Structure 1
Amino acid sequence: MTTTHPTPAPHPGPDSALSEAGTGRPVLVLHGGGGPATVGGLAGHLARSAHTLVPTHPGWDGTPRPERIDSVGDLAEYYLRLLQDRGLRDVLVVGSSMGGWIAAEMALRDGTGAVTGLVLVNAVGVRVDGEPIRDFFALDARGVAEYSYHDSDRFFVDPADIPADRLAVRQGNMATLRHFAGDPYMHDPELLPRLRDIRLPTLLVWGESDRIVTPAYGAAYAAAFGDARFEVVPRAGHLPHIERPEATFALIEAHARRTA
């Protein structure tokens, strides 16, 4: 059973919401621009054998965003303090899209050794020559589906069919995403060469049909790490844990066993 409850200040405090479930090794699951619902199925699966923590990033789903949290680096520090405040060790950090970017920044900034493994799922955050990140903000709803999913017809949602309150939440999430990652767009120009300093065992999982960040982008991302594996999920796009959950979960579970 999943419970949502406050954490002792300052995390999550009034800034965020935190859902927890399961027992075992701590696994921090970080969502991308679409919000925590996009990683709900993944977190639920991992909670069968691990203690999962799924925060809502400050500013998403109507949560406040304090002025002190103004960048992806700030989010990374915020979650490292969460782990420290809770005394969590041997933490596997799993991040989707922007969440993967946050995970990489956490590994670079972790001075206590709390994080012992990384999983980046179709992550953004770096600049790869010849493989630009698709301008998500320039896409309409149909374009988002076509560039994000292998089976775009299955996952396309017409905005006209979304209730007004949920549409407002989506629009708010996109505004917050633009604040954190709009300029420079979805990356830190200095991050890629710094990844060689990360010696944690790292798995990069990529949907082969992703046209937001292509598999070639993902392969270059993986090659920049000191110790990384790159795995492609067939017939999946930017969110392989939603489109091909069994294949994606199997890769993540195998990596968790290797890094435990």
Structure 2
Amino acid sequence: MTDVLVLHDDLALTVTETGEGRPFLVLHGGSGPDSMTPVVEHYASTHHVLAPVHPGWDDTPRPDWFSGVDDLATTYLDLLEDRGLADVVVLGCSFGGWVAAEMAVRDRARRIGHLVLVDAVGPEVPGIAVRVPGGRPPGAGGPPGGGPPGGGPSAAAMAAVRAYGGPTMSDPKLLRRLARVHTPTLVVWGEDDLVVSPDFGRAYAAAFPDARFELIPGAGHVPTREEPEATLAAIDTFLTAETP
């Protein structure tokens, strides 16, 4: 089921919901919602999956004032609160991982039970650059990440990435703020990611008090699409081990 939630006079949020059980929020990267289909389908049999479309993707409108990762993070935390959801698994890939991390930083109500970051961007890691060949935004997939293109982002999606992430596609304060996030966290990384290297992922994981790092052989920047079986197995193992 797909709903369009009117949040403000000029802002609506498209959310696909499927399945029953523990809530599971899926946040896509620059390549859009389709790149997360394996995740949604896998967890729909055991979880209540919510998969929003970030405003600006798939022809959804994004008002000019809605222009930061903090806007997305706050909006999705409000969504969890409005639905009365708790112990939520939040999974974000690439740009969506940045949003997920910012949600965890702001989660004062402790609605997030587990956090999964897949080749996520967001922080500044000293000495490690985020490489965006040809001007493609992180999360675009394709050869820069080691996998098949599978359809690159639209011009509107690229504009949305720039609007939300700014010219540096990073938040210099984020890495330090993660030290206060005690949510059990899994950082999953494609071994062949040429956009954000595994060393970037290891530094990301090390910033959390309670995080583990998992490398996915043969995957690039979008492991959920390039090596879905291995990626989902790693996430399943994490959630099973961390759930009483």
Fold match (TM-score > 0.5): yes
Matched, 1:179 2:163: yes
Q: TM-score, normalised by structure 2?
A: 0.92
**Residue pair 2:4, 2:15 contacting (<8 A) in 1 also:** yes
- Structure 1: runs of 5 or more not aligned: none
- Structure 2: runs of 5 or more not aligned: none
Matched, 1:211 2:194: yes
TM-aligned CA deviation for residue 70 of structure 1 = 1.6
Which of residues 183, 190, 198 is equivalent to 1:200? 183
SS of 1:23's partner is coil
Q: Deviations over 1:6-53 (max 9, x none)?
A: 44x539x95221111111100000001111111112111111211100
Which of residues 96, 103, 123 is equivalent to 2:120? 123
Letter in 1 for 2:54: H
Cα distance between partner residues in 2 of 1:211 and 1:124 = 12
CA separation of 1:121 and 1:144: change in aligned 2, threshold 3 A:
closer
Cα distance between partner residues in 1 of 2:77 and 2:114 = 14
Rg larger in 1 or in 2? Answer: 1
SS of 2:158's partner is helix
Higher mean C-alpha displacement, 13-22 vs 243-252: 13-22
Q: TM-score, normalised by structure 1?
A: 0.86
**Residue pair 2:11, 2:63 contacting (<8 A) in 1 also:** no
Cα distance between partner residues in 1 of 2:205 and 2:58 = 31
Which of residues 112, 120, 132 is equivalent to 2:109? 112
Greater helix proportion: 1
CA separation of 1:14 and 1:193: change in aligned 2, threshold 3 A:
closer
Greater strand proportion: 2
CA separation of 1:179 and 1:14: change in aligned 2, threshold 3 A:
closer
Residue in structure 2 matched with residue 32 of structure 1 by the alignment: 29
Residue in structure 2 matched with residue 232 of structure 1 by the alignment: 215
Identity score, percent: 46
Number of corresponding residues = 240
Letter in 2 for 1:49: T
SS of 1:129's partner is coil
Residue in structure 2 matched with residue 23 of structure 1 by the alignment: 20
**Residue pair 2:4, 2:12 contacting (<8 A) in 1 also:** no
Q: Deviations over 1:113-164 (max 9, x none)?
A: 1111100000000111221001255259xx9633212xx4xx146xxxx8xx
Cα distance between partner residues in 2 of 1:78 and 1:43 = 20
